[in-house]
Copies of this chain bind each other. A is one copy, B any other.
């Protein structure tokens, strides 16, 4: 394991640990949720949105939510003392009391918190943008899981296996019915006629916290933004395309499946509007 890539801190249920129970339902069924949080100078960025998504995810899956204060404390403990860090929180339903899918209701959630290095932003990524491909791997559609950042991520693993060229930053994914959904690890926005459009996530996809922040920023900047069903033709027509995630903020796409694109006015306006938040000076 490259020392740089390995986690710097690993805690399980509030204590330093390197392992979880072999009976954890997160391992057996992907029965849990996660968050990936960018931290600057020990401060987790967009923390209220991350905690809110986790709380809502727990409610939808019927997992006992440990509470915002407890989670905030764990995240601050792990983020503390580092200039830049990525904190990953993984929350599962807990240890299985018996074999099988059935939930007992008495499970105590397992809370895993990891800290990783957060490399300095490469300004070329932010300004010129990134190269993006189209994934062959499709996303299944299921409204009951749509929007959740849950632990069933085999589709993303398979999509990410499609390329190894480090010059490609991301791949856009379509659903089995042909809808544009997101990147493998980011959300996507299209610009058409000075209007922002992003896939509606009612059938699949993860409702990203930076996606929410970007939509709010657009509204504040007077840019119309719409969540809707989008397909390959919308992507082909888009004048600007950008990606969002908690880690990258908003990044223009400068090449999409071989087609050259450039960040235009709308993408720049969103980047400017998000800048204070990305610098850690605002709570978004």
Contact = CB atoms under 8 A, between A and B. Distances in A.
Contacts of A23: 7, 10, 114
Nearest to A29: B153
Contacts of A27: 20, 24, 26-27, 90, 92, 112, 151
Interface string A19-39: 111111111111100101000
Q: How large is the interface on A (under 10, 10 to 19, 20 to 34, 35 or more residues)?
A: 35 or more
A153 B156 contact: no
A116 interface: yes
B21 A157 contact: no
Contacts of A151: 27-30, 154
Interface in A1-49: 1-2, 5-7, 10, 12, 17-31, 34, 36
A264 interface: no
A229 interface: no
A82 interface: no
A215 interface: no
A160 B22 contact: no
Given A30-B30, A112-B22, A142-B176, A154 B153 contact: no
How many protomers of this protein does the assembly include?
Answer: 2
B153 A144 contact: no
A251 to B, nearest CB: 16
Given A98-B5, A101-B184, A144-B155, A21 B18 contact: yes
A58 to B, nearest CB: 13
Interface in A84-131: 86, 88, 90, 92-93, 95, 97-103, 112, 114, 116
A22 B19 contact: yes
26 contacts: A5-B98, A6-B97, A6-B98, A10-B22, A18-B22, A19-B21, A19-B22, A20-B20, A20-B27, A24-B27, A27-B90, A27-B112, A30-B151, A30-B153, A31-B157, A86-B99, A99-B114, A101-B159, A101-B184, A103-B160, A137-B144, A139-B142, A140-B142, A142-B155, A142-B176, A152-B152
